[in-house]
Amino acid sequence: MTIEVPRETWQGAVREVTLGAVGDGGSRTTTVTVGGERSLPFLHFEAPLPHRPVMAAEVSDVYPDDWSPALLETLGEDARDPGAWAARMVDAGAELVALKLRGAHPERQGLGADECVATVRKVLDAVGVPLIVYGPGTPDKDNEVLVAVAEATKGERLALGNCEEKNYRTLVAAALGNGHLVIGQTPIDVNLAKQLNILIGDMGLPLDRVLMDPNTGALGYGIEYTYSVMERLRLAALMGDTMTQQPMISMAGEEAWRQKEARAAEGVPEAWGDLADRGVAWETTTASALLQAGADIVVLRHPRSLAAVGRALDELMKEA
C-alpha cells in the first residue's frame, strides 16, 4: 500500500539576505546568505532549503563578568580580548560573529564611539567571517556608537542591531549611507514585527538588507509563545505577506545563559546535574527549538553549543 505524503504549495518565499562583502569596500573572506525558504523549516519533501541556517557566536567588547561562571571558565582569558575570542569561536564552527558593544552602556564603562570603532576593527582584522554589531542596548548610545561604526566600516555589509521603534530612523539612515544591513527587533508580536519592517522599508532601505528579530525566551521561559509567533510569521511569509518575508535571527545564547538553570551551581536539586553540562544543554535545546520555529540565524555563546547545534543541523539538512 502506497501512502502519499501531503504536500503544501506556497505562493510566497522568504527573502534572501547576504551578510558580509568580499571586495568593493569589504574585507571579508566569506559571505553568508540566509533565507529563500519556500516551505516550513526542514520540510525538504515540499521544497529544497536553499541555504542552511547559520550559527553566530556572541562576543563582548569588554569582559562579561556578569555571565555564568561555567561559561567564563570555558572562555578563559579569550573573554578579555574580543579579537582572540572571535577567532576561537570561528574555529569552533561559528559562521558569523555577533559583537556586542556592552562597554558603551552608560551604566558600565560608558565607552565612546572611537573606542567602539577600534574594537570593531580589531574583530574584523581577527576573522574573515561577516560581522553583526549590536549596540549596548540604550537608544541614545546605540545611535552614537553604531553610526560611528557604520561610517568607519563602509562597504563591509555589517548587520547593525537593534533597530527598534525608538531609534530605527537613525540606524536605517546609517545603513543606507554606508552599505550595511539592519536587524529589526520587536517584542514577541506578529503585528509589531510586520509594522517595523514597513517603517524600515518606507525609509528606502531595500528589504534584502533587513533581518527580523521577533525576540525570544529561553527553554522554560516562554519559548512556546516565541515559537508560535515565529511560526505565524513564517506562515504569513509563505502565504505571500511581503512584510513578513524577512529572515529571522534569534539570540538563543543570551536568553539561555541568563536563566538560573545555566547559572546556579548551588541550592539547586541534585538531579539538575553538573552546571557546565546543564548550561550547554539549556542553550542547545533553546537554539534547536528556535531553528525548528524558523530561525535562519541563532546566536550562541558556548563552543560546545556550536558543535552540538552544528551536528543537529547536519541531521536536519539531510533529505529523506
Cα–Cα distance between 291 and 102 in angstroms, integer? 26
User: Cα torsion at 291, 311, 265, 85 (round to 10°)?
Assistant: -90
Tens-place pLDDT, residues 74-116 = 999 999 999 999 999 999 999 999 999 999 999 999 999 999 9
User: Which pTM was predicted?
Assistant: 0.96
Identify which has the larger pLDDT, 199 or 267.
199
Write down the domain spans for the chain.
54-316
Q: What are the grid coordinates assigned to 265, written together? A: 551551581
Q: What are the grid coordinates assigned to 272, written together? A: 539538575
Cα–Cα distance between 254 and 258 in angstroms, integer? 6
Q: What does 90-103 look like in DSSP terms, one character per residue?
A: HHTT-SEEEEE-GG
Tens-place pLDDT, residues 168-188 = 999 999 999 999 999 999 999
The pLDDT-based confidence of 24 (bands split at 50, 70, 90) is confident
E strand map for the chain: 17-19, 22-23, 26-27, 32-34, 54-60, 96-100, 131-134, 159-163, 181-185, 210-213, 248-250, 295-300
Q: For residue 273, what pLDDT is reported? A: 83
Tens-place pLDDT, residues 232-262 = 999 999 999 999 999 999 999 999 999 888 8
Residue 192 pLDDT exceeds 60: yes
Q: Which residues pair with 22 in a beta bridge?
A: 27
CATH number for the segment(s) 54-316: 3.20.20.20
Residue 320 pLDDT exceeds 60: no
The pLDDT-based confidence of 319 (bands split at 50, 70, 90) is confident
For all residues of the chain together, what is the average pLDDT? 95
Residue range 25-32: average pLDDT? Answer: 96
